[in-house]
Amino acid sequence: MFSRDTWKEIFETIQKNKLRTFLSGFTVALGILIFVVLFGFGNGLINTFDDFFGDDATNVFLVFRGRTTMPYKGYKANRSIEFDNGDIADIEKNFPLFLEYISPRITRQDTVTYKNESNSYSTLAVGPAHQFSEMTIIMKGRYLNELDIENKTKHAVIGRLVEQDLFGAKNAVGEFIDVGGSVFKVIGVFQDDGGDREERTIFIPYTTQQLIEKNTDKIDAMVIGFKPQIGYAGAMAFEESLDTFIREKKYISPNDQNGIFIRNIAEQLKQNQQFARVLQIIVGFVAFGTIIAGIIGISNIMVFVVKERTKELGIRKALGATPKNVIGTILLESVFITTVSGFIGMLIGVAILNTMGDKLKDYFITNPYIDLGMAIFATVILIIFGAIAGYVPARRAARIKPIVALRDE
Nearest by Cα to 191 from 57, 55, 54: 55
Closer residue to another protein in complex, CB, 250/317: 317
Give the range of 88-96, 245-253, 258-266, 314-322 binding another protein by CB under 8 A: 314-322
Contact 129, 224 (CB under 8 A): no
On the 0-12 / 13-18 / 19+ scale of CB atoms within 10 A, 27 is buried
**For another protein, the closer CB: 74 or 320:** 320
Among 66, 62, 73, which residue's Cα sits nearest to residue 253? 73
Q: How far apart are CA 162 and CA 44, in angstroms?
A: 30
Q: Closest Cα to residue 46, out of 371, 378, 375, 368?
A: 368
16 binds another protein (CB under 8 A): yes
Cα(60)–Cα(65) distance, rounded to whole angstroms?
Answer: 16
Q: Does residue number 22 form part of the binding site for another protein (CB under 8 A)?
A: no
Whichever of 170 and 407 has its CB closer to another protein, that residue is 407
Measured between alpha carbons, how far is 23 from 29 in angstroms, rounded to an integer?
10
CA–CA separation, 219 and 101 (whole Å): 16
Q: How far apart are CB 9 and another protein at their closest, in Å?
A: 7
Q: Which is nearer to another protein, 209 or 334 (CB)?
A: 334
On whether the CB atoms of residues 286 and 279 are closer than 8 A, the answer is: no
Exactly one of 303, 323, 374, 381 binds another protein (CB under 8 A); which one?
323
Of the two residues 137 and 392, which places its CB atom closer to another protein in the complex? 392
* Contact between 263 and another protein per CB under 8 A: no
**Binding flag, residue 154, another protein (CB under 8 A):** no
Shortest CB 320 distance to another protein, Å: 2
The binding track of 366-405 with respect to another protein, each residue x by CB under 8 A or -, is: --------------------------------xx-xxx--
Examine residue 318 and tell whether it contacts another protein (CB under 8 A).
Answer: yes
Amino acid making up residue 135? M
Q: Taking CB under 8 A as the rule, does residue 19 contact another protein?
A: no
d(CA 168, CA 165): 6
Nearest-angstrom CA–CA distance, 121 and 114: 13
| Least distance to another protein, CB of residue 316, Å | 7
* Cβ-proximal residues to 39 (8 Å cutoff; 6+ apart), any chain: 283, 287, 370, 374, 375, 378
108 vs 311, beta carbon nearer another protein:
311
Among 112, 317, 338, 343, binds another protein (CB under 8 A): 317
23 binds another protein (CB under 8 A): no
Segment contacting another protein by CB under 8 A, of 23-31, 156-164, 323-331, 368-376? 323-331
Only segment of 2-10, 131-139, 247-255, 368-376 that touches another protein (CB under 8 A): 2-10
* Contact region with another protein (CB under 8 A), list: 5-13, 90-98, 143-151, 160-168: 5-13
Q: Which range touches another protein (CB under 8 A), out of 8-16, 104-112, 266-274, 363-371?
A: 8-16
Our CB check for another protein shows the closer of 1 and 384 to be 1
Rounded to a whole number of angstroms, the minimum distance from the CB of residue 2 to another protein is: 13
Number of H helices, E strands in the chain: 13, 12
- 129 binds another protein, rule: CB under 8 A: no
Tell the burial category of 407 from Cβ atoms under 10 Å away from its Cβ (0-12, 13-18, 19+). Answer: exposed
Nearest approach, Cβ of 324 to another protein (angstroms)?
A: 7
Q: How far is the CB of 297 from another protein (least distance, A)?
A: 24
CB distance 223 to 194 below 8 Å = no
Cβ count near 385 (within 10 Å): 18
Part of the chain binding another protein (CB under 8 A), chosen from 3-11, 129-137, 162-170, 387-395: 3-11
CA dihedral for 133, 179, 152, 189, sign (positive or negative): positive
Tell me the one-letter amino acid at 75: Y
Site of interaction with another protein (CB under 8 A): 5, 8-9, 12-13, 16-17, 311-312, 314-325, 398-399, 401-403, 406
